[in-house]
Amino acid sequence: MSEEAVRPNVGALDLTVRIAGMVAYAVGLWFYIQVFGLPKQAIEVVICIWLGTVAWDVRRPVREHLIFLRDWWPPFVVFLAYLYSRGLSDDLGIFSVHVTAPADGDRWLFGGTLPTEFLQQHLCGSPCDRSMSPRWYDVALTTVYYSHFFAALGVGAFLWKRNRPAWVRYMRRYLTVISVGVICFVVYPAAPPWMASRDGAIPEDVNRITGRGWFDLASKHGSGGTAQQHVSAVGNQVAAMPSLHAALAILVALWGVTHLRSHWRWVLLLYPAAMMFMLVYYAEHYVVDEIAGALLVVVVMAGWTLWERSRPSREVEEEPQLFSTM
């Protein structure tokens, strides 16, 4: 049989195996979510991404799949440190929690009005409760909220598969943002709007309605309030300044805008805009938290860009390492 006659069969076999692998991965992920809930920790997401790459190229040798673990172990260590250190501001008790200052900052920016209270009164109702029937934009905004847990890492996984040097540069910025964020959480613990209102520290009546958009979706399937419990933030409750939700959304958008060439790349800016709007509306963050997150991203991106431009030209030709050249 000629080589030309064999190639189509090999291609068909590769496609069949790839489809089978992705179906098995999707089924396994569905069962995982049913048992453990939606993945919200970076460590969980990285493992899910790795298993996805295995399923996509399941016919490749095992040693090639282990390359992912070799490249991603430094970020994995950072994620592990982030997971167990972001609650230090609660446990250490060195710095007092800032409750009223962020709220005062928002009122100063908006002429005495607290944006969260204004948005909830006009978009949710008064009183506003997450168990109320959601509107269409609540479903969209809750989905935007959850995207925080995988969007930035998804970009990293895509770059790892397609452009390893770009992956290194992106992960440097990503890991720096979350590392500096953890330091800020310890030095400046700040209560989000929902906590300040709950404890009576601010007069405004605002509620945490993060999972409101998925409440009815859960109720229709007999799971009651499970969805909004799964999607609500975990970990350090006073890790509000700066907002990493806003910061990572801005990082993803700025990276895309500065590295893509399509005129449609500017649409990416809608992502951080929606994320920041949602965070204020859902009482997860003040506007000043988001401004701090934006400034953090700008400083980190500018700093790394200047540092990389100062390196010898050989780094452009050779594949850089994530930490050995930092």
Half-sphere exposure of 75 (CA within 13 A, CB side): 31
DSSP annotation of 58: T
**SS3 of 98, please?**
strand
Is residue 171 within 8 Å of 160, Cβ to Cβ? no
Strand partners, 98: 190
Q: What does the pLDDT look like over 86-119, one tens digit per residue?
A: 555 555 555 678 888 999 999 999 999 999 999 9
Does 324 score more than 80 pLDDT? Answer: no
DSSP annotation of 188: S
Does 241 score more than 80 pLDDT? Answer: yes
pLDDT-based confidence at 302, cuts 50/70/90? very high
pLDDT-based confidence at 317, cuts 50/70/90? very low
What pLDDT does residue 255 have? 93
Is residue 205 within 8 Å of 283, Cβ to Cβ? no
What pLDDT does residue 149 have? 85
- Cis before 127 (ω within 30): yes
60: Cβ–Cβ under 8 A, 6 or more apart, which residues?
none
What is the C-alpha to C-alpha distance for residues 38 and 48, in angstroms, rounded to an integer?
11
DSSP 199-244: TTSSSS-----TTGGGHHHHHTTT-TTHHHHHHS--S-TT--SS-H
Structure token pair of residue 240: 């509000």
DSSP annotation of 97: P
What is the C-alpha to C-alpha distance for residues 119 and 115, in angstroms, rounded to an integer?
6
Sign of the CA dihedral running 16, 22, 28, 33: negative
Strands (E), the chain: none
Q: What is the pTM of this model?
A: 0.81
Q: What does the pLDDT look like over 29-58, one tens digit per residue?
A: 888 877 877 777 777 788 888 888 888 887
